[in-house]
Amino acid sequence: MRTGDLLALRPAGLYCEAGDFYIDPIHAVPRALITHAHADHARPGHEAVLATDDTLAVMAIRYGAAFAGETQAIGYGENLRIADADVCFYPAGHVLGSAQILVQDAGSRIVVSGDFKREADPTCAPFEPIACDTFVSEATFGLPIFRHSHSRNEIAKLVASLRLFPERTHLVGAYAFGKAQRLIALLRQAGHDRPIYIHGALEKLTEYYASRGIALGNVRKVTGATDLAGEIVLCPPSSTNDLWSRKFAEPLVAFASGWMRVRARARQSGIELPLVVSDHADWDGLCATAVETGCSELLVTHGEADALVHYAQTRGIAAEPLHFTGYGDDEATPAETAA
């Protein structure tokens, strides 16, 4: 890493010596800045955590109120000095509360994207490209085969399937935080006004989204032995094939993820209705973002880094994969989450 002065890669994650903090560390550390509340980026047990208020709230829901020694909320665009480093959080468009973190000192500006996407999302603030010298990007879908910024078409597929198979329960696997609520919001935008049913694991987070004024309509928790024929039921990916799913009427298993673009992925997971919806930037989004930040150096934390690095190099940007292995669970398919 050329930016060794301001940020360095340590076993726990990206570390800023000037401010003595980590960004999204995968082990407990004295001070952590958290981009967003997905479990692979936001781990419990840090002594001090700085994050947006939504990220802190979601971490408290998932880990309990005592998830960190102390917490501090920061708003988008608010500047904060930590020892010898200046930091500022900007919307990343990934999930509610998600942020890119700008770290700067007198010499350089580095933006750590965490996870991000460029497609509009009714459940979170849109991504803003931030000018910087070094952009630290994700690359979960860093291959030109991944193009998934047409969620509206995918939602239309789901609604059409409901019409075609009114006798079957449409069981949609979706990550519990972010993806599930976004699907509900997208269904509402598409005019689907029937009640939407959710697995118990999604309840608290969905309630939190509603409490933040996001229009989710009539959402009900699945209870009792009702078979919910012709209804949409959202559940965590790992529940689509387990015992819980058997009470429904001939469940038609759908799964929402960027991986669904590749047939074998859908087949390996036994998915009947693949929905190509992702909370990560697709190939075009990743490439455009690297260019729009005007960075002269691109570092890729995780995902399919090699192609993005190659692309950046052809555009005259120095680029390097970090091969960091702790991230990237939030799009996992049912086969992977079972593992």
Partner 1 sequence: MNRFAQLLDRLQREPSRLGKLRLMTDYFRSAPDPDRGFGLAALTGALSFRYAKPGLVKALIATRVDPVLFDLSYDFVGDLSETVALLWPAGAAEEEDALPLSTVVRALSDTGKIDLPRVLAELLDGLDETGRWALLKLITGAMRIGASARLAKQAVAKLGGKGIDEIEDLWHGLALPYIGLFAWLEGREPRPITDDPAPFCPAMLAHALEEEELTDLPPAEFFAEWKWDGIRVQAVVGEKSGKVVRLFSRTGEDISAAFPDLVDMLASLPCRTVSIDGELLIRRDGRVQSFSVLQQRLNRKRVCAALLADYPAHIRAYDLLSLDGEDLRALPFFERRRGLEAFVACADTARLDLSPSIDFKSWDFLAAARRDPLAAGVGPDAAAIEGVMLKRCDSAYVPGRPKGLWYKWKRDPFTIDAVLMYAQRGHGKRSSFYSDYTFGVWHQTAEGEALVAVGKAYFGFTDEELGKLDHYVRNHTSNRFGPVREIAHGKEEGLVLEIAFDGVNRSSRHKSGVAMRFPRINRIRWDKPVREADRLEALDALLRE
The 10 Å Cβ neighbour count of residue 188 is 19
Q: Which two tokens stand for residue 222?
A: 């699945």
196 or 309, CB closer to partner 1? 309
Minimum distance of partner 1 from residue 265's CB (angstroms): 6
CB 139 within 8 Å of CB 95 = no
Burial-class residue 263 by CB neighbours within 10 Å (0-12, 13-18, 19+).
Answer: exposed
HSE, side-chain direction, 13 A CA sphere, residue 84: 11
- CA–CA dist 306, 321 (Å, integer): 7
Nearer to partner 1, 177 or 311 (CB): 311
Nearer to partner 1, 54 or 138 (CB): 138
Residue 123 phi/psi, 5-degree rounding, is: -105, 0
Cβ at position 208, least distance to partner 1 in Å: 30
3-state SS class at 164: helix
In the complex, least distance from residue 39 CB atom to partner 1, rounded to whole angstroms: 15
**In terms of CB distance, is 207 or 336 closer to partner 1?**
336
Q: How far is the CB of 338 from partner 1 (least distance, A)?
A: 6
Phi, psi of 61 (to 5 degrees): -65, -40
Shortest separation between residue 8's beta carbon and partner 1, angstroms:
21
List residues near partner 1 by CB under 8 A. Answer: 143-145, 147, 259, 261-268, 270-272, 274, 304, 306-307, 310-311, 314, 323, 325, 335-336, 338-339
Amino acid at 339: A
Nearest approach, Cβ of residue 11 and partner 1 (Å): 13
* DSSP three-state, residue 102: strand
C-beta closer to partner 1: residue 132 or 317: 317
Nearer to partner 1, 116 or 255 (CB): 255
